[in-house]
Amino acid sequence: MMKQKQIEKTVSMQIGQQFPLTIKRLGINGEGVGYFKKQVVFVPGALPNEEIVAEVTKVNPRFAEAKVVKIRKRSNERIEPPCPVYAECGGCQLQHMDYQATLREKRDIVRQAFERHTKLNINHISIHQTIGMEDPWDYRNKSQLQVAKKGEDVIAGLYAMNSHKLIDLSECKVQHKATNKVTQIVKQILADLNVSIYNERKHKGIVRTIVTRVGFATGQVQVVLVTKDETLPRKEAIVGEIQKRLPEVTSIVQNINGQKTSVIFGDKTVHLAGEEVIEEKLGDLSFSLSARAFFQLNPTQTIKLYNVVKKAANLTGHEKVVDAYCGVGTIGLWLASEAAEVRGMDVIEASIEDARVNAKNHGYDHVTYEVGKAETWLPRWKKEGWKPDVVVVDPPRSGCDDTLLQTIIEVKPKQLVYVSCNPSTLAKDVDRLCKKGYRVKSIQPVDMFPWTSQVESVTELVRKE
């Protein structure tokens, strides 16, 4: 092992150096992974089993990054990406790969994470085939596009990978058609009314971001204008034009974010017109969604995901369930009909307000939601003599908070269902839990974001007898 490490340290590559490379697999960001003189090389756009000529673009101590100069042997899973700005945008990473092949590779990305970050025997863990979509297009219910001026025009889009160049997205193929249409007309309204547009470099101007969200089941659309200042020039005219040109928009909101940051939302939200929320349905459940409330971005796959969670929770009607990182209460409400009691928590107050309304609207009096962290509420409830049988966590990409993991270990629920959007942090958290009395029963990957490298998964953990 020591000899191997010494060999790796002596390997050096230069920027601009070219060499033949065989791609072995996909990396966690959707890039091709190959090995040159036993050193890892990451190549965006390359696919497994392809033989390419690579050119080094960046050298790190442990790996190199390269670009494809030429494909000598092309993968039979390579396809022509249908998006005209696919190469520039960077929002999707896998539109050049056959969809069924992406599902296989996403399962492998989960497997790689467990091999790299755990001491577990991966051959003893059941990782199921990835659950995909029948039609993997037009699936996103929310768009958040930065705005800028280009001459007299207002453009709205995403920044190109590793740059400050804004790519105008006139029509995004993974967005619901309603969000595409509404965004285009709103930016035209801003241009027509000559509304001040934010300049990121100068930190001047007013309108920063156009956020649109659509209820797949209801057709209701919410528009949020994120502004640098609370004063929005020509506010009444903007609202009037949106209502006139876009009758499907049922909620118009302003959010104020005066910080120099890439974070979209600020803390203050002002209701401008229409309803304060839009309504969405998942199965038999209805949800009220305010501007900042978290809600899964792919409603079609969310139903499949939550059914996997329900199966993993293995409820009989007698269990006490905790829904940590609960957002507007979607997972807890999905489980409520088969649980004795559900308690959830989230740090965003608006989400908890929505969750309480959602629970009340469904007549669930055995479901309660609190503002705050799970690591605060779980010990408090334990002191009061209330202990959960099942804990469901659905953390951000950074994984579970260390304190929460320690709290779960101390509270010792019989069942833990971990919903993850990041295989690496999932594997690290699971490794820690398995050292403290849990074992992995199964992992089910779900493709929530087709054509991207992201993979969601549901891991079922049970306490060892």
Provide the annotated active-site residues: 421
Look up residue 92 and give its amino acid.
C
Structure tokens at 180: 């595409």
- Give bridge partners of residue 51 from the DSSP assignment: 22, 73
Look up residue 343 and give its amino acid.
R
Contact 223, 235 (CB under 8 A): no
Long-range contacts of 432-440 (CB under 8 A, 24+ apart): 432/405, 433/405, 433/408, 433/409, 433/461, 434/118, 434/120, 434/461, 436/409, 437/409, 437/412, 437/463, 437/464, 438/462, 438/463, 438/464, 439/464, 440/120, 440/125
Rg (CA), the chain: 24
Residues 316 and 440: their CA atoms lie apart, in Å, by 21
Alpha helices in 76-176 (DSSP H): 86-89, 99-117
Chain Cα centroid distance, residue 204: 30
Is the alpha carbon torsion for 80, 85, 90, 91 positive or negative? negative
Maximal C-alpha separation, the chain: 72
Residues 344 and 348: their CA atoms lie apart, in Å, by 12
Strands in 359-409 per DSSP E = 367-371, 390-393
Look-up: residue for tokens 């930065």?
Answer: 146
Look up residue 301 and give its amino acid.
Q
Structure tokens at 48: 């497994």
- Please tell me what DSSP assigns to residue 123: G
- Please tell me what DSSP assigns to residue 128: P
Long-range contacts of 166-173 (CB under 8 A, 24+ apart): 167/85, 167/88, 167/89, 169/85, 169/89, 169/145, 172/83, 172/91, 172/140, 172/143, 173/82, 173/83, 173/137, 173/138
